[in-house]
Chains A and B, each alone.
Chain A
Amino acid sequence: MKRREFVTKATLSSFAVIIGAEIVYGEKLLKGYTPLALQDPDPFKMFNKNPEMVVLNDKPWNIEAQAHLLDDKVTPNSKMFIRNNGLVPENIDAKNWTLTIDGESVVSKKSYTLSELRSKFQQYTYQLTLECGGNGRSEFDPPAKGNQWTVGAVHCASWTGVRLRDVLEDAGIKSNAVYIGYHAIDQHLSRDPEKEPISRGCPMEKALMDETLLAFKMNGEDIPLVHGYPLRLVAGGWPASVSGKWINRISIRNKEHDGTKMTGDAYRVPCEPVAPGEKVKDEDMCIIESMPVKSIITYPRTGAMISKNKTLRIRGHAWAGELEVSKMEYSIDFGSTWKECAVEKSANRLAWQHFSADVQFPKKGYYEVWARATDSRGVSQPMLLPGWNPKGYLNNACHRIAVKVK
């Protein structure tokens, strides 16, 4: 190593020690990427994330949890994954924030301030499971495009807000309404003001459900900036991209919404199953609606070593999109035998359900504990990867942890 480089390193490491923080992503700071009160370039500090969260991408920010971090029944902010398609907005002025309802199928275009939303409509609180459509993408072969999420792009927080239905009905819904599409203030990565990073939506039926909220609180507090402050659409059980962040406009459409990432292969899977790696034409791709049945073991962390004759207490969560989880099982012999275990009712519709079991092992050795959920229609999680698709969505294969009995 050249002396110069050594000196630089020594100096820089000391500097990091002196200011008491790792100077990660300093580049953003220097390029003027300093969102409201986010001058700290360390993403874990900036977003209040647990240090064990994993950064997949730093521009745009994409950060996921690990299975054991998701042990809480209601996910705290520190362990919630971040999926951004564009740049986190800066200088948000909640006082002057308005939400406009417009579109071909609105009776009268109308705008509401946040305080009008709060005072005019009744508020509701629900725990809602939001899972990124691409959670588990990293396992597909051939590899699928996008951020390579493993298991941690899911959370179930408690959201408070008003029903989207109440607001849409206040503005008036024409009988030809088909879909809603959201618009938000985040900037496209190219900083082209004409471009929206993402503008998705859902059919009227989902928009009008009791649990579909325009939320201004998460876990009892203002929504953290990176999760959509001051207003987020929350549609539990569907790909989390339907739950638009930083919402300032919702269009009631007379056709399927055609905003950014509604078309092409974004958040779509082949309408008919294809072989791994097969090319699929855009017109043969169908929009993902409800997410499939899935579960995750959140305790213990994978890699546990226990002594023989000890019972291993496992626990985790299971969810099934629009449906309920009706059965939970685990296997310690790679699916040769399954044992049913207890699964609680959900706190409310679309919230994940908690399961637990006391697992006994017959002899010493290496084991994997696999978990398998079954939904109310009798559909279970596969042990192998489900159908390959070009963008690697909907991997709901069984989660497993490694255990050694000594």
Chain B
Amino acid sequence: MEREPSFREQVNTIYRLLSVVFILCVLTGGGLILLVLKPSSSNVDIAAYEDLIEQQEVVDDNLIENGVHVRTGLVEAEGLMEVVNNCTTCHSAKLVIQNRMNTERWNATIRWMQETQNLWDLGKNQEIIVNYLVTNYPPKQKGRREILTDIEWYELTD
């Protein structure tokens, strides 16, 4: 389901985009907003937009919903913010979440990024980050070949 980030994942980014668009809308005439929005959707009203303005500080970069950090998709657990702050600036958290390793291999991967990819010294955060990763994203045993799963059955008619 990677190609369709959950609605929550989008909330934050959409929200920020919205704010920009909203300002533009105000500039082009507040009255117009209602006219444009009303016919397309029933649950949008000007009050919602006003509410949005107020929310600028509520929906922030670190919003957590249902145990997931909305902006990055990382699960909420001890060490989350250390991971968010150190591991999601160069590449997205999707690359982190895809990978499952033990402590030793995570430390080696971090060392590789430090030696070759400009990752900075993590100090005491390294242990916190690695603990977070091995605890929340443990490797899954697959053996030499897995069975086929998640098959979507359909009638083949031709």
A92 interface residue (CB < 8 Å to B): no
B62 interface residue (CB < 8 Å to A): no
- The count of chain B contact residues (Cβ–Cβ below 8 Å) is 62
A16 interface residue (CB < 8 Å to B): yes
Q: How far is the CA of A304 from the CA of B157 in the complex (A)?
A: 9
Q: How far is the CA of A192 from the CA of B41 in the complex (A)?
A: 45
Q: How far is the CA of A222 from the CA of B74 in the complex (A)?
A: 39
Q: How far is the CA of A162 from the CA of B71 in the complex (A)?
A: 45
Chain A residues near B48 (CB-CB < 8 A):
7, 10-11
A14 interface residue (CB < 8 Å to B): yes
| Distance (whole angstroms) from the CB of B83 to the closest CB of chain A | 16
Q: Which chain B residues numbered 59 to 106 have a C-beta less than 8 Å away from chain A? A: 59, 65, 71, 90-92, 94-95, 98-102, 105
| Distance (whole angstroms) from the CB of B87 to the closest CB of chain A | 12
Chain B residues near A404 (CB-CB < 8 A):
153
CB of B141 within 8 A of CB of A4, answer: no
Which residue of chain A lies nearest to B146 when distances are taken between CB atoms in the complex? A139
Q: Which of A14, A23, A146, A260 contacts B37 (CB 8 A)?
A: A14
Q: Which chain A residues numbered 17 to 37 have a C-beta less than 8 Å away from chain B? A: 17-18, 22-27, 29-30
B29 interface residue (CB < 8 Å to A): no
CB of B59 within 8 A of CB of A8, answer: yes
CB of A12 within 8 A of CB of B18, answer: yes
Q: Please report the number of residue pairs spanning A and B whose Cβ atoms sit closer than 8 angstroms.
A: 164
Chain B residues near A54 (CB-CB < 8 A):
2-3
B27 interface residue (CB < 8 Å to A): no
Q: Which of A7, A8, A190, A384 contacts B144 (CB 8 A)?
A: A384
A30-B17 CB under 8 A given contacts A11-B49, A22-B10, A143-B99: yes
CB of B144 within 8 A of CB of A57, answer: no
Contact with A along B1-33 (1 / 0, CB 8 A): 011110100111111111011000000000000
A148 interface residue (CB < 8 Å to B): yes
B124 interface residue (CB < 8 Å to A): no
Chain B residues near A177 (CB-CB < 8 A):
none
Which B residues lie at the A interface, using CB under 8 A? Answer: 2-5, 7, 10-18, 20-21, 36-37, 40-41, 43-44, 48-49, 51-52, 55, 58-59, 65, 71, 90-92, 94-95, 98-102, 105, 109, 112, 116-118, 139-146, 148, 151-156
Q: How far is the CA of A13 from the CA of B7 in the complex (A)?
A: 9
Q: How far is the CA of A147 from the CA of B2 in the complex (A)?
A: 12
Q: How far is the CA of A13 from the CA of B11 in the complex (A)?
A: 9
CB of A145 within 8 A of CB of B101, answer: yes
Chain B residues near A139 (CB-CB < 8 A):
142, 145-146
Q: How far is the CA of A336 from the CA of B20 in the complex (A)?
A: 62
CB of A14 within 8 A of CB of B44, answer: yes
A204 interface residue (CB < 8 Å to B): no
Chain A residues near B151 (CB-CB < 8 A):
302-303, 402
| Distance (whole angstroms) from the CB of A8 to the closest CB of chain B | 6
Which residue of chain B lies nearest to A192 when distances are taken between CB atoms in the complex? B118
Chain B residues near A24 (CB-CB < 8 A):
4-5, 10
